[in-house]
Structure 1
Amino acid sequence: MFIYNIVKMHYALQIVAAVVVVFFTVKFLSVFRKRRKLSWIPSAPRLPIIGSLFEVGENSTEIITNFIRLTDNPAKSVYLEIGFDCGVVTRDHDLIEFVLNSTQLINKSWDYQMFHDWLGTGLVTSGGTKWKKRRRIITPAFHFSILIQFIESFDQNGKKLIEILSNEGTKPEGIDIYSYITNCALDIISESAMGVSVKSQENQNKEYVDGVKNLLSSILDRSFSLWKVNPYLFPLTSDYWYQRKIVKSLHRFTDTVIENRVKSLQEKTEKNVEQDVDDVGKKKKLAFLDLLLNSSIDGKPLTKEDIREEVDTFMFEGHDTTSFAISMGLYLLAKHPTVQTTTRNELNEIFGNDKSKPTTIEDLNNMKYLELVIKEIIRLYPSVPYILREITKDTEYKGHTLPKGTSIGMYIYGINRDPTYHKDPEAFIPERHLDTSSKNHFAYIPFSAGPRNCIGQKFAMLEMKSLISKILRNFELLPDPSYEPVLAMNAVFKTLNGVRIKLQKL
């Protein structure tokens, strides 16, 4: 019996060894095929097994400058291998235009799976038919007539922000403005997406607010670990269980909001109350959640999980991106007093000396120079530094082949600062956006472009105008001479040391 068990174990080990050999052989052949077909793109130096990991960088800060260095060649692109993963990073205008304009190359790469536990396969992370159907039903939520309903939310939350900054923000040593902006943006998007406020500025619902921040931080850390980024190995780490605990908490909060919203709509239906009018006859603001609750795909209503995916997606995309852009914008305005003065002069023409006057949609539309300023802010500091797409079948491009299974990383931060497309690219010059004659439209893509462009870009622009204008009407912005932002790159840009400026009450 003992000998029999030994023989059985021997054969089992042989089978395991054979499976491992086959697995690695298939992977190697796949990499070799892609490497051969992409030989027209300059390749980064690589080592066995780990590939170009050291060339890319070992953390989220190094990767920013390394991508610039690696794409500094005539092709403005680089072929990378890390382990058995192959991809291209590019800041070439024509290749970016080709990929982003395609109606076929719309699938996100596998990297976005790190968000699946939280966001599922919602609008940002899904692809193919599901993405097209979701985009179709969600697009009406960003119609102008819907967006103007949120102007009051921008204004009221901005007013609360000014009150807090007036009490806490005028310290001689300066403040981290990023934390204040993030709390305000969370309140705005929660009201817009879910119809309720998480009251982040009032330190309420801290479990949800802190959960969002901690989860994003953990995902950032995971993205730069060869061990954790592997979906098969990640469950063996403590971070996996840490993230799952946070996700459960976030989903519990969102589920409660959805259930309460459904119950409220049912009660109004039973009482024959108009659902778009409140108790005093005033037209009720419709949250994105209301649209989802009344939507269907192929004749079937969205499931609770479907709705939660999109609400959570809005909560993530709708606060993290604008928080970064607004904060970096205030940092740039503090460093460029002439631009700040010109912007404030425009605001004085619109509002006069009334600092408390509510902001209307007409006011926002009249902020022409501020719009140029914001466009320049998001050129220098795009909230999303790069976009990844997966090539789902061999695709011809300029006589070459983009092989199936390749990730194409379009380096927005890189092309937005490329001297080939932008004169004096490191300078903060809002007036450059007055010139619309350039044919290189895909050299400025802070909101992406093509079929998968940012669906919320109008919402974001209105929110940025509202909050930046309110701060400039109440404070003079001054730089902190000792501060320089330390950027970190993930699905969205971050700063590892906040965004420090000084505020002087006007």
Structure 2
Amino acid sequence: MFLTIFTCFVLLLIICDYFYKTRRNAQFSAAGIVSPRPWPILGNVPHVFGNDTANVFSMLNRFKARWGKVWHMWFFFEDILFICDARHFESLLSSQELIKKDVIYDVLRYWLGDGLLLSTGGKWRARRKVITPTFHFKILEQFVEIFDQQSIVMVEKLKARADGKTAVDIFPVVGLAALDIISESAMGVKIDAQRNPRFPYAKALTDAADIIATRVMKPHQSYDLTFYLSAPRKALKLRKCIKIMHSFTDNVIEERRRTLERTIADGSYKAINLEMNDIGAKQRMAFLDVLLQSTVHGKPLSNSDIREEVDTFMFEGHDTTTSGISFTCYLIARHPAVQCKLFQEILDVLGKDKDRRVTMRELHALKYLECVIKEGLRLYPPVPIIGRITTREAMINGQIVPANCNLSVLIYAALRDPNYFVNPDDFVPERFDVESCAEIDPFAYVPFSAGPRNCIGQKFALLEMKSAISKLLRHYELLPLGESVRPIMNLVMRSATGVNVGLRPRVY
């Protein structure tokens, strides 16, 4: 009896699945979009069997070569429209309606809650308005001191391996420096991860990011139930890591809130006033401090609201800048003419005292370094793929896309599109100088996304990258040692072979 009922249920499910997918595929076909024939229930999952973080780019490039710059696939009962064409990016990324992240991001929700990355609608708009002042230039200016101090520690940690012969995987080294920078900037606390990489919060963040990245690349682990059933040890480890991070953040928030309440009670409280030039070293404002003093619709943010945003900032501001700095250093090491020009600019702007602290004005003056970083981000974008979902029928570049369709925007593919970039695989920083940059389609170059949901911290990230890279070049010549990079998708762009450079102390 049970077997009969079960068989009937499966047959009914297959029939419903067939008609639903057939109808949806017909809609995409009418829009001129290719949809490879799906299997019952599984959809196109067999197309990605064996896929992991190491081969996702080659797999997507094969699909692009076979089906063009826009194609549609099924993963069980979810469908995804893959988009490589920058012509589609403008209508998609600039839309005020297409702001909801796709289902892939749900794997982050237990960690990040409903913070700025994952929220949508009115909540997202209200939070974005609250958080935007955090990146006011007067607050960014005080972060430059943090960038400089932690970059000094990074340079010191590399000294023992700077013999001109040893290949150094710079990614984990930069990662710890970036974690020190973001923890002090976001929470106002020093965790000293560079000197103590086993610090519980630092290790928990790294382990959580690795586990989540694997989930994203394996369709059967994208759902919580199947993740717990197929990888129970990783699931438990992930929960433990997130618990450690939440506990740490909660304690910091509580402590900072008590301090704020104490200053209000004793009369020493001083509200944030960006219109007054009174934010300096004596009143350094961390991201957390701004949130504690902010209101939404006249009400202060709760501790859980603040934790969502602090955790989001820690997540987004750690691995992304690590990836950008590391791959840019890799490219500099393998292009000596670029490095020579860069070093001369650094001497011209910062002088020969390699230990002198830099200022925000000086970082802005490093114009060629900015071109180098932008070209590095083009070749190796830290966030190579972003996702959206259509909450209702949408028109994207003249093509009608039905509601509840996941959109996978393949930024990395557009950034190497020969239709927009001459010799797209070559490292040519000069393409971003003032004259050449004006000719680049703004929606073909979107390493920080674009439109209303662009990266709110991109100015912070560029300043941090300039500070770290200029500090490295003041102390070391970067050499082309070690294996070449083999890009992999791991929440951010990483390399299966490490991001290797050699280091030779500069004498001048």
Report whether the alignment pairs 1:493 with 2:485. Answer: no
Contact 2:164 2:479 in 1 (8 A): no
Matched with 1:133 is: 126
Are the structure 2 counterparts of residues 409 and 419 from structure 1 closer, same or farther at C-alpha, using a change threshold of 3 Å? Answer: same
| Secondary structure, counterpart of 2:409 in structure 1 | strand
Matched with 1:4 is: none
Matches of 1:350 and 1:387, distance apart in 2:
36
| Secondary structure, counterpart of 1:283 in structure 2 | helix
Matched with 1:95 is: 88
| Secondary structure, counterpart of 2:236 in structure 1 | helix
Report whether the alignment pairs 1:244 with 2:236. Answer: no
Stretch deviating more after TM superposition (21-30 or 188-197): 21-30
CA positional deviation for 1:264? 1.4
Matched with 2:62 is: 69
Q: How does 1:295-310 map to 2 (within 5 A)?
A: 295-310=294-309
Are the structure 2 counterparts of residues 298 and 339 from structure 1 closer, same or farther at C-alpha, using a change threshold of 3 Å? Answer: same
| Secondary structure, counterpart of 1:223 in structure 2 | helix
CA positional deviation for 1:222? 1.5
CA positional deviation for 1:229? 1.5
CA positional deviation for 1:152? 0.4
Matches of 1:130 and 1:15, distance apart in 2:
45
Matches of 1:27 and 1:245, distance apart in 2:
37
Q: How does 1:368-379 map to 2 (within 5 A)?
A: 368-379=367-378
Unpaired runs of 5+ residues, structure 2, are 273-279
Contact 1:198 1:205 in 2 (8 A): no
Match of 1:145 among 138, 145, 162: 138
Matches of 1:120 and 1:505, distance apart in 2:
45
CA positional deviation for 1:353? 1.2
Q: How does 1:412-427 map to 2 (within 5 A)?
A: 412-427=411-426
Letter in 2 for 1:254: T
Matches of 1:463 and 1:406, distance apart in 2:
36
Q: How does 1:79-228 map to 2 (within 5 A)?
A: 79-170=72-163, 172-203=165-196, 206-228=199-221
Q: TM-score, normalised by structure 1?
A: 0.92
Are the structure 2 counterparts of residues 454 and 358 from structure 1 closer, same or farther at C-alpha, using a change threshold of 3 Å? Answer: same
Are the structure 2 counterparts of residues 327 and 422 from structure 1 closer, same or farther at C-alpha, using a change threshold of 3 Å? Answer: same
Matches of 2:342 and 2:440, distance apart in 1:
28
CA positional deviation for 1:224? 2.6
Stretch deviating more after TM superposition (45-54 or 126-135): 45-54
Report whether the alignment pairs 1:30 with 2:23. Answer: no
Contact 1:346 1:367 in 2 (8 A): yes
Q: How does 1:403-442 map to 2 (within 5 A)?
A: 403-434=402-433, 435-438=436-439, 440-442=441-443
Matches of 1:50 and 1:373, distance apart in 2:
44
| Secondary structure, counterpart of 1:372 in structure 2 | helix
CA positional deviation for 1:25? 4.9
Contact 2:166 2:503 in 1 (8 A): no
CA positional deviation for 1:309? 0.7
Letter in 1 for 2:81: V
Aligned-residue sequence identity (percent) comes to 40
CA positional deviation for 1:289? 0.4
Contact 1:183 1:200 in 2 (8 A): yes
Are the structure 2 counterparts of residues 52 and 142 from structure 1 closer, same or farther at C-alpha, using a change threshold of 3 Å? Answer: same
Matches of 1:70 and 1:145, distance apart in 2:
46
Matched with 1:257 is: 252
Are the structure 2 counterparts of residues 394 and 431 from structure 1 closer, same or farther at C-alpha, using a change threshold of 3 Å? Answer: same
Contact 2:102 2:406 in 1 (8 A): yes
Matches of 1:104 and 1:140, distance apart in 2:
24
Are the structure 2 counterparts of residues 271 and 169 from structure 1 closer, same or farther at C-alpha, using a change threshold of 3 Å? Answer: farther
Matches of 1:167 and 1:430, distance apart in 2:
31
Matches of 2:82 and 2:441, distance apart in 1:
19
CA positional deviation for 1:230? 2.1
| Secondary structure, counterpart of 2:318 in structure 1 | helix
Q: TM-score, normalised by structure 2?
A: 0.92
Matched with 1:469 is: 470
Matched with 2:43 is: 51
Are the structure 2 counterparts of residues 437 and 362 from structure 1 closer, same or farther at C-alpha, using a change threshold of 3 Å? Answer: closer
Matched with 2:505 is: 505
| Secondary structure, counterpart of 1:417 in structure 2 | coil
Stretch deviating more after TM superposition (300-309 or 379-388): 300-309
Letter in 1 for 2:33: I
Matched with 2:313 is: 314
Are the structure 2 counterparts of residues 274 and 374 from structure 1 closer, same or farther at C-alpha, using a change threshold of 3 Å? Answer: same
| Secondary structure, counterpart of 1:71 in structure 2 | helix
CA positional deviation for 1:184? 0.4
Matched with 2:277 is: none
Letter in 2 for 1:31: K
Output one character per residue of 1:204-241: Cα deviation in whole Å (capped at 9) or x when no partner.
66111010110111111222323321233223341222
| Secondary structure, counterpart of 1:442 in structure 2 | coil
CA positional deviation for 1:490? 4.0
Matched with 1:267 is: 262
CA positional deviation for 1:365? 0.9
Are the structure 2 counterparts of residues 310 and 28 from structure 1 closer, same or farther at C-alpha, using a change threshold of 3 Å? Answer: farther
Stretch deviating more after TM superposition (371-380 or 167-176): 167-176
CA positional deviation for 1:64? 0.5
Contact 1:44 1:55 in 2 (8 A): no
CA positional deviation for 1:27? 4.3
Q: State the Cα RMSD in Å.
A: 2.2
Matches of 2:398 and 2:306, distance apart in 1:
43
Matched with 1:7 is: none
Are the structure 2 counterparts of residues 48 and 61 from structure 1 closer, same or farther at C-alpha, using a change threshold of 3 Å? Answer: farther
| Secondary structure, counterpart of 1:418 in structure 2 | coil
Output one character per residue of 1:118-158: Cα deviation in whole Å (capped at 9) or x when no partner.
11111111222221111111111111111111010011111
Match of 1:42 among 31, 34, 47: 34
Contact 1:384 1:493 in 2 (8 A): yes
Matched with 1:5 is: none
Unpaired runs of 5+ residues, structure 1, are 1-9
| Secondary structure, counterpart of 1:72 in structure 2 | helix
Stretch deviating more after TM superposition (291-300 or 248-257): 291-300
